[in-house]
């Protein structure tokens, strides 16, 4: 039984450019990761110990082996392909796109774009392979027990997926843009502050905004502003850059964006 992999296939092949800090979750199963860069290296790394090929969807642009080629190699060599697409809805079509493309297993977070429970996720694709995973998780005592997803999360995620499949995504997108517009209008009144909306290409494909300030006019770094926001009440957490911060509004409820705008304005106006 894993993590004891005696007698089992126990190697995972992953492109180096597809590392993202979640490798420990693979190693926990007792597997060993073999890192490759080129197609030749990948072909050479696959052998009769290879259990799986791992693909990080977000890393597609920076890897030498792209999605379709990756799936082809897996099929030709008889190795299951797994895709981590944790943060990659919206668009909703991603829930089926990659399975249709031929990935055997595709995983999504329940608590990101789907807005479901944080401690839940979706594993989609090959039914038989998903069933192989069942003995590993609750109510059984396999290795997944330590990451138990409770009944409450399971039903919560089901409700989140049902909502997600019928919601008006364009209207949600416009609502997020209107929240960003509100924050931009508030910050426009602080001299030396620039704002810009952006939408990440793959992961978290939703409206975000960047706030940058002129360090000559506002003598605080991004880290310092971020720290002040975190130490305030309520605590607000924004990722910092050199002289700026990034704001994502899609987890904000009700009027929370107004609070963020006001706090950021006050801190920058004083700096
Ligand atoms: C968020 C994320 C995870 C972890 O997913 P959780 O559902 O938060 O546990 C794994 N991989 C990637 C690429 C992620 O963005």
Q: Whose CA is closest to atom 13 on ligand 1?
A: 86
Q: What is the pLDDT of residue 271?
A: 84
Q: 3-class SS at 34?
A: strand
Q: Whose CA is closest to atom 3 on ligand 1?
A: 86
CA 18 / ligand 1 centre spacing (Å): 13
Q: What is the pLDDT of residue 224?
A: 97
For residue 121, the ligand 1 atom closest to its alpha carbon is: 7
For residue 111, the ligand 1 atom closest to its alpha carbon is: 7
Residue 180 near residue 197, CB atoms below 8 Å: yes
210 burial type by CB count under 10 A (0-12 exposed, 13-18 middle, 19+ buried): middle
CA 216 / ligand 1 centre spacing (Å): 38
Tokens in use for 97?
Answer: 């796109």
Q: How confident is the model at residue 20 (pLDDT cuts 50, 70, 90)?
A: very high
Q: 3-class SS at 177?
A: helix
Considering the entire predicted model, what is its pTM? 0.93
pLDDT digits (tens, 9 = 90+) for 82-117: 999 999 999 999 999 999 999 999 999 999 999 999
Q: Whose CA is closest to atom 5 on ligand 1?
A: 109
Q: Which residues line ligand 1 (CB under 6 A)?
A: 20, 22, 56, 58, 84, 86-87, 109, 111, 121, 203
**Which overall architecture, per CATH, does domain 169-270 show?**
Alpha-Beta Complex (3.90)
Q: Whose CA is closest to atom 10 on ligand 1?
A: 86
Rounded CA-CA distance 259/42 in Å is: 50
Judge if the upstream peptide bond of residue 234 is cis by omega within 30 degrees of 0.
yes
Instruction: Quickly name the fold that domain 11-164 has.
Output: 3.40.640
CA 88 / ligand 1 centre spacing (Å): 10
Q: What is the pLDDT of residue 159?
A: 98
Q: What is the pLDDT of residue 14?
A: 98
pLDDT digits (tens, 9 = 90+) for 129-163: 999 999 999 899 999 999 999 999 999 999 999 99
Q: Start-end ranges of CATH 3.90.1150.110 in the chain? A: 169-270
Kindly report the three-state secondary structure assignment for every residue of 71-85: HHHHHHHCCCEEEEC
């Amino acid at each position: 039984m894993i993590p004891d992999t005696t007698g089992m296939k126990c190697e995972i092949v992953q492109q180096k450019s597809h590392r993202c800090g979640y490798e420990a979750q693979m190693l926990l199963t007792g597997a060993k990761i073999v890192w490759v860069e080129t197609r030749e290296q990948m072909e050479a790394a696959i052998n009769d110990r290879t259990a799986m090929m791992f693909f990080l969807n977000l890393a597609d642009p920076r890897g030498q082996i792209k999605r379709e080629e990756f799936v082809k190699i897996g099929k030709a060599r008889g190795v299951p392909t797994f895709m981590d697409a944790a943060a990659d809805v919206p668009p909703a079509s991603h829930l089926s796109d990659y399975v249709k493309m031929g990935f055997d297993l595709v995983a999504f977070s329940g608590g990101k774009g789907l807005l479901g429970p944080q401690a839940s996720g979706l594993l989609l694709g090959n039914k038989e392979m998903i069933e192989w995973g069942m003995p590993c998780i609750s109510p059984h005592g396999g290795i997944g027990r330590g990451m138990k997803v409770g009944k409450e999360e399971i039903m919560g995620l089901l409700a989140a997926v049902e909502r997600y499949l019928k919601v008006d995504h364009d209207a949600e997108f416009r609502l997020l843009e209107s929240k960003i517009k509100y924050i931009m209008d508030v910050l426009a009144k602080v001299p030396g502050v620039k704002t810009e909306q952006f939408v990440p290409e793959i992961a978290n494909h939703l409206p975000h905004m960047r706030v940058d300030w002129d360090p000559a006019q506002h003598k605080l770094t991004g880290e310092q502003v971020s720290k002040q926001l975190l130490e305030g009440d309520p605590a607000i957490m924004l990722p910092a850059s050199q002289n700026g911060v990034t704001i994502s509004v899609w987890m904000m409820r009700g009027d929370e964006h107004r609070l963020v705008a006001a706090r950021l304005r006050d801190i920058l106006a004083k700096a």
